[in-house]
Structure 1
């Protein structure tokens, strides 16, 4: 990489400016991500091609020559070192994805709709007890607890582990930790996963964790095994992380966008847009994951006369920039428009690694937004509220979302 590198801000403090800079630098540009060089791809068309190109791998163990040197001291090691479907390539990816996919079929996700409604209403009941004029943090009181309760039920998490998983996942997405802090957090995460696995081996249930353990324990060893013990641990790590933080950000961003764009909320209330439109536009406008580490070129990939991604070089999917790129959305990419006719975006990825949990995340977000604004029609940002970003170049949400509920209308 002989072009000037853009150093990505680990605090995410000015995401919009960084997004604009990535779009201006062309389809792919060299970046520095916490000391690691990578090609950030912001052009959605090019990103779609690379995300389904077999010449681009997610297996750093095999295809990233810098892996042995970088990973031991890199704060984002937990994003590239585990062995699960997120970091697998080819046949290994298909094997692991097939195992996880059984938990995200329509047969399993569909019946969760009623439970998500119940969980949402219970959280809103708690909010309704807030004294008039007292601000509440909707990231803390709604966007956080709903996804962790949903993923907890899907995976069979005991109640006493939910709070611990939340703390560790928050730190997985933080990009301001030192290598030592990140390593300690990862160790704490695995310790909780081992407790979960041990508990489910003793008392299996109708949940994803028990299903994966059964596949691990009953289908042989070595090459005959459905997955190794480490793959079991790493797969659970992935599902807890991916099934939680990203949906938190989606709900958080959806609320914030509607409150800062009252004209768009009016479109929904007038029936000119649906709540599903709000969810899709929030995903496009503010992708819950801004940048997703990492992929690697299996061979040289020539993008143009001037740009070639060399074998072994890292690739960063820059979803936040792709969602607003003018090559697809013209000069309206920065606008939040729930009536936008073009609904496509890459917030859930593309190709073989497309997010298995996308239908569940959409269901949770649509339910949370619809029920919230129905229950509290006078909802407004708290006076003087500052929507500061979370300290991360990966996670794209707010540290807090302070609002005034203004009380529910009589009869709702």
Structure 2
């Protein structure tokens, strides 16, 4: 068995997420990394090993129970990633507590409720495409800002019953939550502002209940044998907004970029040699919208692959790396290929914490992507790939901008 000691230091700005993953994988399927603030963790890039721990009880997301560094004060309020591990929701719960919290949330994401959103997704998509079409011919438009971003935020805002006046603050808070280049003070301030905003949302929906998810969670919590605390309710809404928005923004952004830079696959779509579902699943695999999710902790000593994991060790789930595992996808793992037979990926997690909103993200993509390429069949990228920049995050995996010509003529 091996226990390497030199950790790979992750770039907080995420300037080369896939390049870093390749270098980490070269050190081994389970390899030490250093997060912002000097916090060390094990990064798992092997798909089978990651599934093993995500599906079993030997790892936890509850820092209060299972991370000694958090319990003894080594992880203080000065750590910029504290909001990722200190929230009190199903995101950080373990065992029976996780099942209690997820049971209250799950009814908001039933198949029926998800499919009932399609008419609104269709309408929002059409509105955004009409706005884009108003741009003069030959003008460059930013599709991340004008399409990939506003569609999911409008969908999730309507789903959650967010009053219109809270939307600008909502966007600022979500952006800040995923920005891993923020200082500790900036991250703390952003989290405090976001929490205050969500407390306002809860208060508003208690006074003005509707058919929205916030009202549903309030009612379900009040009726449950073991209801949410007010903090659990607010942190659950933070989870839903963040996970339900950022992932879909990046999925749309990356899928559009991949098709614009690979005309052969656009031709395959036009000839029905591949489906939009093929494109969506391969985009999720090839450029997982969330590259990493901090953090998990070893509940006990165990061996993962050939590495001895000690009780209390922090573990970083590397979804972007595991989804490109060459043991699963062979020599073409680092190629975008919607025709590949094996669709397996970990973009939405695995096991008990598999994303409840995955069907909604897929639905939004399957509505939005065909619509924009149908509306603008001559669309082309308006900048070199290296000029697009990235989201300032090692967690969120998207471009800073996506400039295109919708129609040069």
TM-score by length of 1: 0.95
Q: Any idea what the Cα deviations from partners look like across 1:70-107, whole Å, max 9, x if unmatched?
A: 14211111110011011000011111111111110011
Name 1:251's counterpart in structure 2: 252
Name 2:33's counterpart in structure 1: 31
Name 1:61's counterpart in structure 2: 64
- Which of 110, 126, 129 in structure 1 is aligned with 2:131? 126
Q: 1:218: Cα distance to partner? A: 4.4
User: Structure 2: how far apart are the matches of 1:401 and 1:359?
Assistant: 25
Name 1:52's counterpart in structure 2: 55
Name 1:187's counterpart in structure 2: 192
User: Structure 1: how far apart are the matches of 2:83 and 2:252?
Assistant: 25
Does the Cα contact within 8 Å between 1:22 and 1:321 map onto a contact in 2? no
Determine helix, strand or coil for the equivalent of 1:288: coil
User: Structure 2: how far apart are the matches of 1:405 and 1:239?
Assistant: 32
Q: 1:372: Cα distance to partner? A: 0.4
Q: Any idea what the Cα deviations from partners look like across 1:297-344, whole Å, max 9, x if unmatched?
A: 00011124x511100001101111111121111110111111111111
Does the Cα contact within 8 Å between 2:25 and 2:31 map onto a contact in 1? no
Aligned positions of 1:303-342 closer than 5 A: 303-304=304-305, 306-342=306-342
User: Structure 2: how far apart are the matches of 1:32 and 1:204?
Assistant: 45
Name 2:175's counterpart in structure 1: 170
Does the Cα contact within 8 Å between 1:376 and 1:407 map onto a contact in 2? no
Name 2:210's counterpart in structure 1: 205
User: Structure 1: how far apart are the matches of 2:8 and 2:388?
Assistant: 25
1:285 aligns with 2:290: no
User: Structure 2: how far apart are the matches of 1:183 and 1:213?
Assistant: 26
Q: 1:384: Cα distance to partner? A: 4.3
1:399 aligns with 2:404: no
Does the Cα contact within 8 Å between 2:4 and 2:31 map onto a contact in 1? no
**Aligned-CA RMSD value:** 1.3
Determine helix, strand or coil for the equivalent of 1:316: strand
Determine helix, strand or coil for the equivalent of 1:3: coil
User: Structure 2: how far apart are the matches of 1:2 and 1:335?
Assistant: 30
From the superposition, tell whether residues 71 and 264 of structure 1 become closer, same or farther in structure 2 (CA, over 3 Å): farther
User: Structure 2: how far apart are the matches of 1:359 and 1:156?
Assistant: 20
- Which of 155, 160, 164 in structure 2 is aligned with 1:159? 164
Instruction: Give runs of ≥4 in structure 1 deviating > 2 Å.
Output: 215-219
The more displaced of 268-277 and 1-10 is 1-10
Name 2:23's counterpart in structure 1: 21
Does the Cα contact within 8 Å between 1:294 and 1:314 map onto a contact in 2? yes
Determine helix, strand or coil for the equivalent of 1:243: helix
Q: Any idea what the Cα deviations from partners look like across 1:325-374, whole Å, max 9, x if unmatched?
A: 21111110111111111111000000011000000000101211110000
| Contiguous gaps of at least 5 residues in structure 2 | none
Name 1:275's counterpart in structure 2: 276
1:73 aligns with 2:78: yes
- Which of 83, 90, 98 in structure 1 is aligned with 2:95? 90
User: Structure 2: how far apart are the matches of 1:336 and 1:95?
Assistant: 39
- Which of 104, 108, 111 in structure 2 is aligned with 1:103? 108
User: Structure 2: how far apart are the matches of 1:343 and 1:351?
Assistant: 17
Q: 1:16: Cα distance to partner? A: 2.4
Does the Cα contact within 8 Å between 1:138 and 1:403 map onto a contact in 2? yes
Does the Cα contact within 8 Å between 1:23 and 1:325 map onto a contact in 2? no
From the superposition, tell whether residues 244 and 71 of structure 1 become closer, same or farther in structure 2 (CA, over 3 Å): farther
Name 1:214's counterpart in structure 2: 219
Q: 1:54: Cα distance to partner? A: 0.4
Q: Any idea what the Cα deviations from partners look like across 1:124-145, whole Å, max 9, x if unmatched?
A: 0000000011100000011111
User: Structure 2: how far apart are the matches of 1:348 and 1:259?
Assistant: 24
The more displaced of 193-202 and 69-78 is 69-78
> Aligned residue pairs: how many?
403
Q: Any idea what the Cα deviations from partners look like across 1:99-127, whole Å, max 9, x if unmatched?
A: 11111001101111121111101100000
Does the Cα contact within 8 Å between 1:128 and 1:407 map onto a contact in 2? no
